[in-house]
Amino acid sequence: MRKMLGGMRQAGILAAAGLYALKHHIDRLAEDHEHARMLHDGLKQFEPELLQLEPVETNIIIFTLTRMDVEEFARKAREQGVLVHAIGPRWVRLVTHLDVSRDDVLQALRAFEQVLRGR
């Protein structure tokens, strides 16, 4: 009898990372969520003709670009020192985490201002 192998063969590594995070960083999840709300609130400054925000509930912010291609947005944001993740032709996903500080959020908002308004 042959058994299928593969799939989640590294599940133990992923589980160890999750267990470490739960043991050492659970208390600071509130900080990640606060940074996400701060980023979300800062993105509200942009008119709906530039982007449309999804509601934020965790540390993940998602928005749709209405006038700019997501690859162009990602490239220009990267040039400003901010990494974003394209999840579709016009959708962007931002995530706050342990390595994202309040100052990083402010830097991202300044970068998005330059990218979206050409300033």
| pLDDT band at 7; cut points 50, 70, 90 | low
Whether the pLDDT of residue 94 is over 80: the answer is yes
Q: What is the pLDDT of residue 119?
A: 59
* Rounded Cα gap, residues 52 and 63, in angstroms: 5
* pLDDT at position 113: 94
Per-residue pLDDT at 22: 86
The CA distance from 112 to 77, in Å, is: 7
Taking 90 as the threshold, does the pLDDT of residue 13 lie above it? no
- Give the 3-state secondary structure of the chain: CCCCCCCCCCHHHHHHHHHHHHHHCHHHHHHHHHHHHHHHHHHCCCCCCCEEECCCCCCEEEEEECCCCHHHHHHHHHHCCCCCEECCCCEEEEECCCCCCHHHHHHHHHHHHHHHHCC
Q: What is the pLDDT of residue 8?
A: 64
| % of the chain beyond a pLDDT of 90 | 61
Q: Does residue 89 carry a pLDDT above 70?
A: yes
Mean pLDDT throughout 45-51? 88
All structural domains of the chain: 27-117 (3.90.1150.10)
Q: How confident is the model at residue 11 (pLDDT cuts 50, 70, 90)?
A: confident
